[in-house]
Amino acid sequence: MSPAARRRPFGVVTRGTTNPNRLRRVDNWIVATCADRLLAADDPLVVDLGYGATPVTAVELRARLAAGVRPDVRLVGLEIDAARVAAAAPAADPPGLTFARGGFELAGLRPVLVRAFNVLRQYDESEVAEAWQTMTAALASGGVLVEGTCDELGRLASWLLIDADGPRTLTLAAKLTTLGSPAELAERLPKALIHRNVPGEPVHALIRALDDAWQAAAPYATFGPRQRWLHAVTRLRETGWPVLDNPTRWR
């Protein structure tokens, strides 16, 4: 594809469904995990790609980054649907929050971070690699892509942290008071992984191991689902899985 063609919005219109606080878990993770990148940037630019029919999750991400990382963070919400961009205009608060038309090419922007949630879920798995490559090629030096999916209320979610070299981490998150079993997270794996949740694939083994650890931690349910989860994750790491961070993040 020629450079001129790639500058045109690249992608297709998604369903656009969203809800307030749907992306709270990934937003809080971004604040905790990606703050150093934004603090070190001369231009702390973030792109929320495919924010949907309403701009509420873009507004929330900008507010969380401004409060938790740096107040001068700039967030641009990109949508391939011009009607959604026009509908979001009343929520804009320049220069901190603006909206524009764009797709995986990121409208010529060079952000430090891109959040693309519930976007690639609607594509074929064969299209994922090109979308990742297009987005990461447009990032500022050292920039990252956070790509994932969640259910309608954000109670189950998973996402990948991706840089120029490819995926670096996978995060699984859930509202523990409504979690029956970690196996439920399989339904919300990123597009690149959801079809690989079959015997013989690493992600299938991971979900199975986490579910086994959850069952083994059942006695801790007396102290609440958070304690059960913490003991399950501890057991998962003890069995050899490369679990990052510590209980402060796991909880």
Reported as a single tens digit per residue, the pLDDT across 203-224 is 999 999 999 999 999 999 999 9
Integer Cα distance of 219 and 166 in angstroms: 39
- Section 85-89 average pLDDT: 97
On whether both 239 and 150 belong to a single domain, the answer is: no
* pTM for the structure as a whole: 0.92
| 108 and 168 fall within a common domain | yes
Residues 153 and 215 in one domain: no
pLDDT band at 4 (very low <50, low <70, confident <90, very high): very low
Given this model, what pLDDT does residue 11 score? 61
Cα separation values, 144 from 91, 136, 160, 210, Å:
26, 7, 10, 27
| Residue 94 clears pLDDT 80, i.e. is over it | yes
Cα(80)–Cα(82) distance, rounded to whole angstroms? 6
Among 122, 147, 177, give the residue marking a domain's end.
Answer: 177
* pLDDT for residue 61: 98
| CA-wise closest residue to 53 among 74, 22, 79 | 79
Whole-number pLDDT of residue 6: 46
Query: Is it the case that residue 2 has pLDDT exceeding 50?
Result: no
Give yes or no: residues 49 and 154 share one domain: yes
Residue 1: predicted pLDDT: 39
Residue type, 143: G
Residue 111, preceding peptide bond in cis (omega within 30° of 0)? no
- Domain range holding 216? 198-250
Average pLDDT over residues 133-146: 97
The reply to whether 173 and 209 lie within a common domain is no
Report yes or no: 57 and 46 within 8 Å, Cβ to Cβ: no
pLDDT confidence of residue 189: 97
Mode of pairing for the β-strands spanning 144-150 and 97-101:
unpaired
CB contact burial 61-70 (16+ within 10 A = b; e otherwise): bbbbbbeebe
- End of a domain among 177, 208, 225? 177
Q: Is residue 147 part of a domain?
A: yes
Judgement on whether residues 32 and 65 belong to the same structural domain of the protein: yes
Residue of 80 and 251 predicted with greater confidence: 80
* In the chain, alpha helices (H): 3-6, 24-33, 35-40, 56-68, 82-88, 128-137, 191-194, 202-216, 225-238, 247-250
- The CA–CA distances, whole Å, from 194 to 44, 58, 203 equal 32, 25, 9
Which two structure tokens, joined as six digits, stand for 158?
């998973």
Q: Are residues 132 and 206 in the same domain?
A: no
Residues 161 and 85 in one domain: yes
* Mean pLDDT, all residues of the chain: 93
Look at residue 177 and tell me whether its pLDDT is greater than 80.
yes
pLDDT at 8: 63
Residue linked to tokens 């013989």: 200
Segment 50-58 mean pLDDT = 95
- Angstrom CA distances, 18 to 126, 132, 133, 134, 171, stand at 25, 22, 26, 25, 21
Regarding whether 96 and 48 lie in a shared domain, the answer is yes
Mean pLDDT of 87-94: 97
Q: What percent of the chain has pLDDT over 70?
A: 93
What is the mean predicted confidence (pLDDT) over 92-105? 97
Share of the chain above pLDDT 90, in %: 89
* Residue 22 structure tokens: 């749907």
Position 5 confidence tier, pLDDT thresholds 50, 70, 90: very low
Residues 222 and 173 in one domain: no
* Biggest CA pair distance of the chain: 61
Give the number of domains in the chain.
Answer: 2
| 204 and 173 both lie in a single domain | no
Rounded-to-integer distance, Cα 158 and Cα 174, Å: 9
113, 143, 177 - which closes a domain: 177
Confirm whether 188 is domain-assigned: no
- Is residue 16 very low, low, confident or very high in pLDDT (cuts 50, 70, 90)? low
Statement: residue 24 has pLDDT above 50: yes
State the pLDDT at residue 122.
Answer: 85
Average pLDDT estimate for 170-177: 96
Instruction: Work out the average pLDDT over 170-178.
Output: 96
| DSSP bridge partners of 146 | 115, 161
